Amino acid sequence: MNMIENSMFEEEPDVVDLAKDSSTFQMSYEPRSSRLLVRGLGENELEDDEEDYESSARLLGMSFMNRSAAQRAGSSPYIRQPSPRSCLRPSARTMVVCVLFLVILASMTMVFYFLPGCTYTKAGCPKSNGTTPVEPLYPNSTSGELFPWAQLRLPQSIHPIDYDITLNPNLDEMTFTGQSIITMSVHHNTRRLVLHGANFNITNATFKGPVNKVNVLEYKPWQQIAIKLPEELKAGQRCVLTLDYSASLSNTYDGFYNSSYTNKDGTKSVLAATQFEPLSARKAFPCFDEPAFKATFHMKISRKPEYMTLSNMPKAKSTHLSNGRVLDEFEKTSVNMSTYLVAFIVANFTPVSTNVSDTLVSVYSVPEKKEHTVYALEMASKLLEFYNNFFDIKYPLKKLDLIAIPDFLAGAMENWGLITFRETTLLVGQESSPLEKQVVASVIAHELAHQGNLFLSVRFRVLDKDALNSSHAVSTQVETAEQVEEMFDAVSYEKGASILLMLNASMSGSNQFRKGIIQYLKQFRGRNTDTNDLWNSLTQLSTQQQNVSEMMNSWTSQKGFPLITVSIKEDQVTISQEHFLLSSDGNTRSSSLWNVPVTFVNDSCSVATECRQMFSLKTKTETLKLPGKVKWLKMNYRNTGFYIVHYGDVGWAALTEALSTNVSILTQEDRASLIHNMFALSRLGRVSFQQVLNLLSYVSQETETSPVMEALFQLNTIYRLLDKRQESGLAARMKTYILARFGSLMNNQTWEKDEQDGVSELELRASLLETACMLEQENCTQAASALFKQYVESNGTSRIPGDLQQVVFTVAAQSDEDWLTLLNMYHYATYDAEKKKLLLGLASTQDTRKIVWILQAGLRGEVVQTQELPLIIRVMCRGFAGHLFVWDFIQVNWERLIEKFPVGSFAIQSIIKSVTSQFSTQAHLDQVEAFFSGLKERGSQMRSVQEALETIRLNQRWMDVNLPTLQRWL
């Protein structure tokens, strides 16, 4: 896992020293923030609407499943009901009694406060008369006995050294038994052993150490199991815990879960796979399921003879058992690993393999898709060699397996030695387009190095997300499992990659960034690190005496990014920064400062790399002196920096005039960033929408991908907002405006496969034609319909170019007859990229009966895989009929959705964003807020919900401000 992800799990400081496993503190539950806090005795009185600790702890562990759609209005178990003894009009006697009680309570508090031997602080009163420790308050385990630990994070007193794990999956019954033998070292004296385990039936437990007989306790809300030891373990000791257990294979997409697929002949095959990131290894075997607890792993898995097994390491041997099964034993891992990187598969798959630099590289798939694995094998082999050379570090394992799993929620997962993929992100056919191959190559590259090239449009979208008050810092402390899930979002990934790109661009000289990365990887290989270790390695190699840690901490430790405002007067340039925050009270912005490597070009030299100049902005405002007068400046050369620039009315006018004369005065990245920045500033209210449209006047001259696609994205977003708000007249005029700007470019696109076209040209063609057909331009819809008819009548011998399949299938889905044809094609399709496009075409229908059928089919997971629901919902919400039906569907089926996808997961985040991002009215804002507030106390506190509410308010504000301008201008 890269350093950005590791920062999510860094050990957080606490009021007590957890490293010493101290128990001299007292806890109470604070239900409003869903966390356990260290509290003093004088601070834990419960308010009228709070519960006691025990019932609150139970509430924290309750599932959303306890709530049904019919209960939303008033009977939700998560809505506090008034006490039956409370009354709205208290009598005079009641008032007198209450006042008297308060006086007595205040007097007693003062007496206790001034008693000698106790000082009240934030830590409470930990000692009486300086000697007597306070007994800690622990939750009850499932047996009723007190659980010996009361923190979400595990104690640091015992660390695992090695796991010896045996698993016996039964794919007929979808169950498994297991044995986990954990060798551990004692770091601090302790009488308790705490680790993770979820949904296990532990049948036997032995402990090899000072005692042998042990009793296992379980605390389900935090998925922890524990053993109280009668004798204290001493630092430096080694001990071994053996747990025998049974469990069911998970029917969701995490842990050790069951999956299935349908063969060409219609028969169903089953398999079992794993997905442990971030917190699900504990669902497969008892373990210390936090990334810092690294250990070695020795896996053994039994199977029926018709199946095969894979794990992180090569298979050491196979033994035939007396019960007819085969026990596969794998080599012990050659490196210490975090639990989330462990993986194993039980399936009937087929590989293709090759040797690369003494490493056996294999790609696995279901047998009938073996021919689709060749490209992935070729890419994986080339990339492995490239990374061996680039990082000057040889791949540490003997083998590298890439496996395409039919039922897999994530795009891919970088388990060491066994990388798991969705079929659509690993398999490509002979007829695949360059765009489809690019997706596969980029995903493989990302998983092999766990970093990858970030496309410009992705950086724009993460800027949009990070401009919300509901965003978070890249490096953020987490306190609950749901918050850990929520950290796997665009800010952690795309912003993390973007600021590394900015750092790389700011480090001049020969390969400084690469050399720093190599030094960091070699120095800390196999060890736990924090963010500053990387920054320090890069600082040591900076030829500019650049303090990388000082610079980068300003980007990782606070949310958001700066708005850089530029003002030119003669040869003096004034540059200032403030927090670019779309919604705040103003106070949030004032204290945020970044160390910004500002790059810029001007009218005398603006395209070539050598034109770039750099200025380090560390304070609120600084002044830069230029060699002479300039007509204009373009900041953030090629958009490598993570910030937005405002040039003022004069600066924007100068840039607009220059581009209207000649678009080639700036790189396409710079032109695209101007479009994005201008739209962003219009949402902030810094520029008028008329200024935005003035800037877009040059777009009609464009032929390059980045500026056209960004302009299309922004204009299509506005069109959809107008459409969903039922501003039909303005929507029609916006449609006319888009076609006027891009009509000639759309009409110039061809519908035939062109072997000479590169990825960029194909991406532009697809984007232009999808927009033209969405806006019902007749020549587009007719051409798409004709191509679909030709494809159907040829019985598959005539192919639709891969980059145009989506637009063709989407047009076809608007016809009842062709929709049924698409459904039949989807049922029999074996080529995964095409199957996905067929599904998205089906989901684009505006027929409400078909919309409901697809949603229900996705929820059942038989005809349509449940893993595709987030993507289906995203497509449906683009249409007018779809976005309303999906919102109702989510409200009615919320409990079933969170049975499939963990609360806070990327899938749930995607669903919430898709269904709410195009709402712009007060009525929808009220509905969304009421629904999520009614789920449970944390429902409205989920970051994705806060982001949704904030986005609706921004949409509403933007519409209210700009509708008059649109009415005048369009």
Task: Report strand pairing: 644-646 vs 562-569.
Answer: parallel
43's tokens: 């601070």
Instruction: Establish whether 450 is an annotated binding residue.
Output: yes
Under DSSP, is residue 571 helix (H, G, I), strand (E, B) or coil? Answer: coil
d(CA 931, CA 912): 12
Instruction: Establish whether 298 is an annotated binding residue.
Output: no
Q: How far apart are the first and last CA of the chain?
A: 49
Q: How far is CA 476 from CA 38, 94, 154, 307, in A?
A: 20, 48, 18, 43
The region that residue 674 occupies, defined by phi over 0 for left and psi between -120 and 50 for alpha, beta otherwise, is: alpha
Three-state SS string across 589-638, please?
A: HHCCCCCEEEEEEECCECCCHHHCEEEEECCCEEEEECCCCCCCEEECHH
d(CA 861, CA 271): 16
DSSP 237: -
Tell me the backbone φ, ψ of residue 920, rounded to 5 degrees: -145, 20
Cis peptide leading into residue 278 (ω within 30°): yes
Contact 241, 193 (CB under 8 A): yes
d(CA 370, CA 374): 8
CA angle 489, 490, 493 (to 5 degrees): 90
Q: How far is CA 371 from CA 1, 162, 364, 406, 831, in A?
A: 31, 39, 11, 16, 10
544's tokens: 């500019």
d(CA 52, CA 392): 58
Judge whether 447 counts as a catalytic residue. yes
697's tokens: 């006047």
846's tokens: 């505006």
Q: How far is CA 616 from CA 8, 625, 875, 914, in A?
A: 28, 13, 42, 38
d(CA 244, CA 177): 8
Cβ atoms within 10 Å, residue 248:
18
Strand partners, 296: 162
Residues 6+ apart with CB under 8 A from 729: none
d(CA 193, CA 216): 10
Compute the radius of gyration of the chain from its Cα atoms: 30
Nearest to 244 by CA among 214, 224, 279: 214
> Residue 109, Cα to own-chain centre: how many angstroms?
48
Contact 549, 539 (CB under 8 A): yes
- Does an H or E element contain 355, and which? strand 350-356
d(CA 94, CA 256): 58
The strand order across the sheet containing 255-262 reads 255-262, 268-275, 344-347, 308-311
Strand partners, 170: 175
d(CA 14, CA 605): 54
DSSP 794: T
Strands (E) located in 366-483: 399-405, 412-413, 418-422
Q: Which of 290, 331, 447, 485 is catalytic?
A: 447
Q: Which residues are annotated as a binding site for Zn(2+)?
A: 446, 450
- Binding-site residues, in ranges, read 446, 450
Residues designated as active site: 447
